[in-house]
Structure 1
Amino acid sequence: MKYCFFGDSGNESSAQLAVAKALKGENCDRIFVLGDVIYQDGIKNQNDPELQKKFINIYNDLNTPFTLVMGNHDYEGSIKAWKKVSEKYSWIFYPNNYFLQKINDVCFIGLDSNLYNRPWHVTSAFKQMRWINSISKDLAQCRYRIALAHHPYVSLTRPAEGFLKHFYEEKVVGKVNLLITGHDHVLQDLGQKDGTRFLISGAGGQHEDLAGYLIIKISDQLSYQFKEVKE
Structure 2
Amino acid sequence: MRHKLLLLICVFQLVFGTGFFPGQYYETPVNRELQDTKLAKSFNFLVIGDWGRNGEFHQKSVSNQMNIASKTLGANMIISVGDNFYPNGVQSTQDPQWKQSFEDVYPQYDLNKPWYSAMGNHDYYGDLQAQIDYSKISRRWNVPALYFTQYFQLEEKSGQAAFIFIDTNPFVSKYRKYDGMMGENVKKQDTQKQLAWLKSELEKAKKIAKWVFVVGHHPLYTGGVRKTAEETEEIRKIFEPVFQNYGIDAYFCGHEHDLQVINPKGKVLQFLSGAGSAIRKSGETDGTHFAASDGGFMSFSLTEKTLRLNVINGEGKILFSRDYNK
Alignment TM-score, normalising by the size of structure 2: 0.66
Structure 2: gaps (5+ residues): 1-42, 154-159, 177-185, 281-292, 317-326
* Letter of the 1:16 counterpart: Q
Counterpart of 2:116 in structure 1 is 67
Structure 1 stretches of 5 or more lacking a match?
none
TM-aligned CA deviation for residue 103 of structure 1: 0.7
Q: Which structure would you say has the larger RCO, counting Cα contacts within 8 Å and 6 or more residues apart?
A: 1
Conserved 8 A contact 2:252-2:270: yes
Conservation of the 8 A alpha-carbon contact between 1:116 and 1:122: no
- More strand as a share of residues: 1
Displacement of 1:48: 0.2
Name the residue aligned to 1:47: 94
State the 1:132 CA deviation.
1.2
1:127 aligned residue: 193
Q: Structure 1 residues 167-176 or 21-30, which shifts more? A: 167-176
Of 139, 144, 166, 1:111 maps to 166
RMSD: 1.9
CA positional deviation for 1:16: 0.4
Residue 221 of structure 2 contacts residue 236 of structure 2 at CA under 8 Å; is this kept in 1?
no
Tell me how far apart the structure 2 counterparts of residues 171 and 122 of structure 1 sit (CA, whole Å): 23
Q: Given the two structures, how large is their TM-score scaled by the length of structure 1?
A: 0.92
> 1:25 aligns to what SS in structure 2?
helix
Instruction: Indicate the residue corresponding to 1:191 in structure 2.
Output: 263
8 Å contact 1:34–1:70 — kept in the other structure? Answer: yes
SS at match of 1:189: strand
1:2 matched residue in structure 2: 44
Match of 2:143 among 70, 73, 94: 94
* TM-superposed deviation, 1:205: 0.9
Aligned residue for 2:298?
Answer: 214
Partners of 1:10 and 1:206 within 8 A in 2: no
Residue 122 of structure 1: CA displacement? 8.0
Write the distance in 1 (CA, Å) between the matches of 2:236 and 2:269.
15
Give the superposition deviation at 1:195.
Answer: 5.5
| CA deviation vs aligned residue, 1:51-102 (integer Å, no higher than 9, x gap) | 2100122224322111111101010101111111111112111011111111
SS in 2 for 1:225: strand
SS at match of 2:263: strand
Match of 1:169 in 2: 240
Read off the aligned partner of 2:152 and give its amino acid letter.
Answer: I
Aligned counterparts of 1:133 and 1:177: Cα–Cα separation in 2: 15
Letter aligned with residue 167 of structure 1: I
CA contact 1:100–1:108 (8 Å) conserved in 2: yes
Other structure's SS at 2:275 match:
coil
Which amino acid letter does the alignment assign opposite residue 86 of structure 1? Answer: S
In the TM superposition, what is the alpha-carbon distance from 1:114 to its structure 2 partner? 0.5
Which is worse superposed, 48-57 or 38-47? Answer: 48-57
Output the CA distance in 2 between the equivalents of 1:92 and 1:54. 13
Bigger Cα Rg:
2
What is the number of equivalent residue pairs in this alignment? 230
Match of 2:252 in 1: 180
Tell me whether 1:138 sits opposite 2:221 in the alignment: no
Runs of 4+ deviating beyond 6 Å = none
